[in-house]
Every structure is written in structure tokens, then in C-alpha cells.
Chains A and B, each alone.
Chain A
Amino acid sequence: MDVEETPLPGIGLRREIVLDNGRRVGIVIHRDGQTELIISRLDDPDACLASVPMSVEEAATLGGLLGGPKLVAQLSEEHSELPGVSTRQFPVTEGSPFSGHALGEARIRTRSGASVVAIVREGQVMPSPAPSDTMKPGDLLIVVGTPDGLDAAAKILHGG
């Protein structure tokens, strides 16, 4: 995918991609580090429908959410040769019972048979997390297992 980069003299830098439908989606990075999410209009691709200021943390979390499906798709592809094994992603929200706890405390593997194979945090993938790694709000857990196992894992993560 081509990322267009446009300098904004005196303000910062704009990076964007053009979607198939002609819409431009991207970010403006201000000199002071602030990030702005921009989405262009469809009827006037020169103009913006929205420009949303975000903190560094918010932007990174959104990046993780956006990047997650691609990772899941890659993992699913790898597991597609194994019948009965699939991959799913679970977001850790502020309200999750294990948010802020170590991965080991949820005992997902023991209770559901499914394994957490990666954590996506702030746009970065942390493969093969250890039981001592904490789950933070905004994280994305990549879980591999049988469909039943994945359902059980979802229950554990939402209900405790």
C-alpha cells in the first residue's frame, strides 16, 4: 500500500492512504507530537469529513485495533492447514475482569484449551507472551484454539 507523505510547513507532516472508494484516510503529525486522525469526504476528496485529535496512547491503541485483523488473518492462514484450529482476537477493555492482571491469572489455557499466542499493544506485536505479562486496556489478545475452546476463552475473558 502506498503511503503518501505531505509536509505541512510550520505545522508538521501528513501521512495518508487512498482507499479503493477514493477516500483519503490518514494522520497529521503535529510538531509537538500530537496526532490527528483525518478522513476525507467522498463528494469532495480535497476536504475532510473529520479530523480527530488524539493523544499518543489513543492513537497507538487505535493502531493496534486496526492492525489486529491483519495479524489474525495471517495467523488463520497459517492454521488453515490444521482442520479444527482457528484464530480469534479479543480486545481487553477497561471493564474486563483481567484488565491489569497477569496473563497467567486468567488460566485461559488450563480452563479452555485455547492459547494466547500474541498480544498486540500500541501497534506492536508481542509474540509468545509469558504468563507473567500483564493485560492492559487497549490490548488485543490473539488466541488460537478449537471453536469451542475459543468460545470458552471469550467467556473467561468477559466474565472471569
Chain B
Amino acid sequence: MGGTTLVLIELGLVFLGLGILGRLAARIGMSPVPLYLLGGLAFGNGGLIEFASISEFSHIASEIGVVLLLLMLGLEYTARELATGLRQSWQAGVVDLLLNFLPGAVLALILGWGGIGALVLGGVTYISSSGIAAKVLTDLGRLGNRETPVVLSILVLEDLAMAAYLPVLTTVLAGASFLGGLQAVGAALLAVSAVLFLAIRYGQRITAWIHSPEQETFLLKLIGVALLVAGLASAMQVSAAVGAFLLGIAISGATAESAVRVLAPLRDIFAAMFFVVFGLNTDPASIPPVLVWTIVLGVLTAGTKIATGWWAARQAGIGRWGRLRAGSALIARGEFSIVIAGLAVASGAIVAELAAVVTAYVMLMAVTGPIATRFAEPAVRRISRQPEAEPAS
């Protein structure tokens, strides 16, 4: 068989497999991310079958996947929402960062993975999956709950923190000195504030410029600008993903909504590929030895997220059941933990065990997070013998 033939067959099998796994996930109402990781584990290095000929395509596809993931994340928010969120809940953001970055960072240091390992694993445990959390809150009918804005604003701050964190991470991974790292932090913060300012000021103009009445030209312009901005950001040592995220923030209103509509299917394909590639590059045999540490980390960071949500909800004057609900809604980790680990793995600057821990950790948290969100309150009510009561009014 020729090269192209083999690539087509292998790609076909991978996408078909992902489709079936995704269907399965939808049926039991969970995020497909852990299943995509499993799929990648099965077809990669050390898995059941090794698909070698798709590595070139899947590498580029996964890069595009990250750009689209972050672009769509940016589209979800307006610059104004981010600025308001930053002003109103920065304290919760700081508590969130301290409580959830430290467990990952400390474990990485204990296991001897050094400063870079700590920076990576801290980021992985810090960031909740806004995708999973928002979906679970919608599905459980909690959008009307009083604690929900607290949860959402923490998610907003985390996503905003990503915009500062990713460029720092990429610089450090590239082997820059401490001074270089500081410069990167400065450049990133400057870029983020400049874009927030420009987006509030001139967002309408950027939006109008990208907007196009025909879907085809709109999609082409959007993808073109996104890849260009991502590439330029990457050339300037700011992560490509951050460029896409900031572009997403600058696009607003009806254009952002139609952008989400036309981009969603593309994002689904390329992002799925991104998760598969991450799984492909992880040797399944490397997971069992780190499983105990992963579970310890999982339990610990579930606890710290509950503490974060509890604290933030209490600040907002919410009762204790609401505090528990807010905390449990933050437990799920997902796409962006993998984005962080993916960047680290691609740079080759971290040990293989770290990738194994992240794979297992995200699979664990993406599955147990939504379950905890659903059952934390009923479970605690049962244990503390305080059944729900809804007397007629």
C-alpha cells in the first residue's frame, strides 16, 4: 500500500473509533475527553496497534486543535466580562490559584521533576475545565442558582490566567533563563492588557472587519486570521494558543455567535485529534507505576477545589449547600490541563512519567468531576441526615 492510502485508512479508523467512543460518552452523559485519551493510548506507542503513518498529519492537526480550542474559549467571553470578572472576584482568583496550583507543584517537586515539572503540574491541577463545568451546570439546571455566577467568574479568571501562564510556560520550556522568564511574564501581561484594552475600545471594528455575510468567506477569514495571529504570537515567543485566545476575546456580539457556530465542528475534529495525539505519545505501560500518586493528587485537588468554591461562595453570602455545590462544580479538569501538558511534552523538557500522571489525572478528574458535581450535595445531606424539604408555600 502507498503512503497516502495507509494514511487515509488509519485516519479513517481513528476518526471512526473516536466517533463511536464519543457516542458512548454522550449516552452515559460524560465528557468525551477521557475516552479520546484512551483511544490515543490504544493506538500509539506501546498500545494495541501502532499507527505510525498518521504522525505527520496528526501533529499539525493537534496544533490547529489547540489554536481552535483557545479561539473558541476567547469567543465565549467578551472583554467587558473579563474586565468585570477581574475587578469583582480577583480575591477568589488568588485563593483558587494558591490552593490548586500548589498541590501539583509540590508533588512534582517531591517526585524530583524539578522547577519546570512543578510549573507544568501546578498548571495542570490549577485549571478547572470550563467546558465541562459549564455544560454540567446547564444540564443540572443550576444556571438559576445563586452560587453559579461565583463558579462562572472563577472559571473566567482561570481562563484569563491561562493567557498569562501559557507564554511564561512556553518560554521556560524553551530553556530561557530566569531573566528571560521574567521578560516573558512582562510581555505576556502587557500583551493581555493591551488586547483587553483594544478589544473594549475597538472590538466593534475588529468584529466588523472579520464579519462576512457568506458562511464560506467568513469561515476562511476567521481561520486565516486565527492561524496568522497564532503564528505571529508564536514568533514573538508568546504562545500561539494565547494569540488565538486574545483574538477570540476581541470578536464580540453576533459575529462571535456565528463564529462559534461555524467553528464548532472544525474544533471538534481538530481538538479530538489533539487529545488523541497526546494519548498516542504516552506509553500505556507508564501509567500503572504512577497510578497511586495520581489518585492521591486527584483526591487532594478535589478537596482544594471544593475549598476554593466554598470560600468564594461564602464571600458572596451563599448558604453552605450552595458553597458545597460551587466547590464540587470546579473539580473537573479537562482540555486545558492537557493543553498545558501537551506543550510540555512537545518541548521534550519534561520526563515521561509527568505525561503519564497528567493523562491518568485528567481521565480521573474529567470522569469524577461531573459525578461529584451531581452527587456531592445529596451525599452530604444523607450523611449529615439533613434531607431536602420543599414545603408548599
Task: Give A residues with C-beta under 8 Å from B.
Answer: 6-12, 14, 16, 21, 23-24, 26, 28, 31-32, 36, 38-51
B361 within 8 A of A: no
Given A46-B321, A51-B143, list of 6 further CB < 8 A pairs?
Answer: A9-B85, A23-B393, A43-B389, A44-B322, A47-B146, A51-B142
Name the residue of chain A whose CB is nearest to the CB of B316.
A46
Cβ-defined contact, B321 with A47, below 8 A: yes
Cβ-defined contact, B134 with A10, below 8 A: yes
Cβ-defined contact, A48 with B142, below 8 A: yes
B147 within 8 A of A: yes
Name the residue of chain B whose CB is nearest to the CB of A36.
B143
Measured CB to CB, the closest approach of chain A to B375, in angstroms, equals 15
Cβ-defined contact, A10 with B145, below 8 A: no
**Given the complex of chains A and B, what is the CA–CA distance between A46 and B310 in angstroms?**
13
Cβ-defined contact, B388 with A6, below 8 A: no
Q: Which of A7, A26, A42, A46 contacts B84 (CB 8 A)?
A: A7
Cβ-defined contact, B143 with A9, below 8 A: no
Cβ-defined contact, B152 with A10, below 8 A: yes
Offer 28 A-B interface pairs, CB within 8 angstroms, sorted by A.
A7-B81, A8-B149, A9-B85, A9-B153, A10-B76, A10-B81, A11-B134, A11-B152, A23-B393, A24-B146, A36-B143, A36-B144, A38-B143, A38-B144, A40-B145, A40-B146, A41-B388, A42-B393, A44-B319, A44-B322, A44-B388, A45-B146, A47-B322, A47-B325, A48-B141, A48-B144, A50-B141, A51-B143
Cβ-defined contact, A41 with B390, below 8 A: yes
Name the residue of chain B whose CB is nearest to the CB of A26.
B144
For the complex, would chain A's binding face be called helix, strand, loop or mixed by DSSP majority?
strand
Name the residue of chain A whose CB is nearest to the CB of B157.
A9
Total contacting residues, chain B, CB less than 8 A: 33
**Given the complex of chains A and B, what is the CA–CA distance between A100 and B209 in angstroms?**
45
Cβ-defined contact, B393 with A9, below 8 A: no
**Given the complex of chains A and B, what is the CA–CA distance between A12 and B256 in angstroms?**
13
Q: Which of A9, A10, A28, A42 contacts B144 (CB 8 A)?
A: A28
The winner among B145, B149, B318, B391 for most chain A CB atoms within 10 A is: B145
Measured CB to CB, the closest approach of chain A to B217, in angstroms, equals 23
Cβ-defined contact, A46 with B388, below 8 A: no
Task: Give B residues with C-beta under 8 Å from A.
Answer: 76-77, 81-82, 84-85, 130, 134, 138, 141-149, 152-153, 155-156, 257, 318-319, 321-322, 325, 388-391, 393
Cβ-defined contact, B152 with A51, below 8 A: no
Neighbouring A residues of B391 by C-beta, 8 Å: 42-43
Cβ-defined contact, B393 with A8, below 8 A: no
**Given the complex of chains A and B, what is the CA–CA distance between A43 and B322 in angstroms?**
12
Cβ-defined contact, A28 with B143, below 8 A: yes
Lowest 3 CB-CB distances: which A-B pairs, in order?
Answer: A38-B144, A46-B322, A51-B141
Q: Which of B141, B144, B155, B156 contacts A14 (CB 8 A)?
A: B144
Measured CB to CB, the closest approach of chain A to B384, in angstroms, equals 14
**Given the complex of chains A and B, what is the CA–CA distance between A10 and B84 in angstroms?**
13
Measured CB to CB, the closest approach of chain A to B147, in angstroms, equals 6
**Given the complex of chains A and B, what is the CA–CA distance between A50 and B140 in angstroms?**
10
Cβ-defined contact, A6 with B149, below 8 A: yes
Name the residue of chain A whose CB is nearest to the CB of B148.
A8
Neighbouring A residues of B82 by C-beta, 8 Å: 9
Name the residue of chain B whose CB is nearest to the CB of A33.
B257
Neighbouring A residues of B390 by C-beta, 8 Å: 41-43, 49
Name the residue of chain B whose CB is nearest to the CB of A40.
B144
**Given the complex of chains A and B, what is the CA–CA distance between A36 and B141 in angstroms?**
9
**Given the complex of chains A and B, what is the CA–CA distance between A46 and B321 in angstroms?**
8
Cβ-defined contact, B141 with A9, below 8 A: no
Measured CB to CB, the closest approach of chain B to A126, in angstroms, equals 29
**Given the complex of chains A and B, what is the CA–CA distance between A8 and B144 in angstroms?**
10
Neighbouring A residues of B142 by C-beta, 8 Å: 47-48, 51
Measured CB to CB, the closest approach of chain A to B110, in angstroms, equals 35
Measured CB to CB, the closest approach of chain B to A20, in angstroms, equals 10
Given contacts A32-B257, A48-B142, A10 and B156 within 8 Å (CB-CB): yes
Cβ-defined contact, A21 with B393, below 8 A: yes
Given contacts A6-B149, A51-B144, A11 and B138 within 8 Å (CB-CB): yes
